[in-house]
Amino acid sequence: MNITITGFSGSEKTTISRLLARQLNKKLISTDEEIIKKTKMTPKKIVMKYGWEKLRESEADVIEIISELDEYVLDAGCGIVLRNENIVNLKKNGIIIFLAADPKTVAARLRRKEEEIDFTKSNYIDKVKGALSEFEERYKKAADYTIDTSSMSPDEACDLITHYVQMELH
């Protein structure tokens, strides 16, 4: 069984995915890294050169291949929920965990990571709220389980995911 970790940037999905893979002795795969291998371009460069739709196509191609694998933790880009085919493919052989966080926590984490974001300080949290609300309903519909990481450590989140995985296996 695969475990797909998804959520908005700042939900700590990469940190939690890496930790979970180690704890469960599963292989880790990142949709972003697979897109880079396949296209020889970062997701950001794909968007800049060809637009968002091309990135969504690349994600779908990667997920179709990944969905055939077994015993992986998948660190999935935040846009995977925008295509139903991705959700169907990921659920063939696994579960989807949506990592949520409140807008203030997401904004603080993104600032800490110093990601390249075009938000001005005065409307930073408002922009994060808007982006979160755009994706959140799709995340919730796609997810088998939702975890709010706002006040939770990565270790605590991994413990909860492990509990959910055990419930699925029984």
The DSSP 8-state label assigned to residue 11 in this structure reads S
At 131, the pLDDT band (50, 70, 90 cuts) reads low
pLDDT over threshold 60, residue 44: yes
Portion of the chain with pLDDT greater than 70, in percent: 86
> CA–CA separation, 137 vs 133, rounded Å?
7
148, 98 contact by CB (below 8 A):
no
CA-to-CA dists, residue 70 to 3, 90, 97, angstroms: 9, 11, 16
> CA–CA separation, 155 vs 20, rounded Å?
8
Where is pLDDT greater, at 134 or 161? 161
> CA–CA separation, 90 vs 63, rounded Å?
7
At 113, the pLDDT band (50, 70, 90 cuts) reads low
pLDDT over threshold 60, residue 120: no
Strands, E assignment, the chain: 2-7, 27-30, 72-75, 94-100, 145-148
**What is residue 140's predicted lDDT score, i.e. its pLDDT?**
81
pLDDT over threshold 60, residue 116: no
pLDDT over threshold 90, residue 103: no
| Pick from 28, 6, 142, 44: nearest CA to 85 | 142
81, 138 contact by CB (below 8 A):
yes
Q: What is the pLDDT of residues 10-20, one digit of tens each?
A: 889 999 999 99
Give the start-to-end residue ranges of the domains of the chain.
2-169
99, 140 contact by CB (below 8 A):
no
Return the exposure string of 133-150: e unless at least 16 CB atoms fall within 10 Å of the residue's CB, then b.
Answer: eebbebbeebbbbebebb
CATH number of the domain located at residue range(s) 2-169 in this protein? 3.40.50.300
85, 66 contact by CB (below 8 A):
no
pTM: 0.85
Q: What is the pLDDT of residues 74-92, one digit of tens each?
A: 999 878 888 999 999 999 9
Mean pLDDT of 49-74: 93
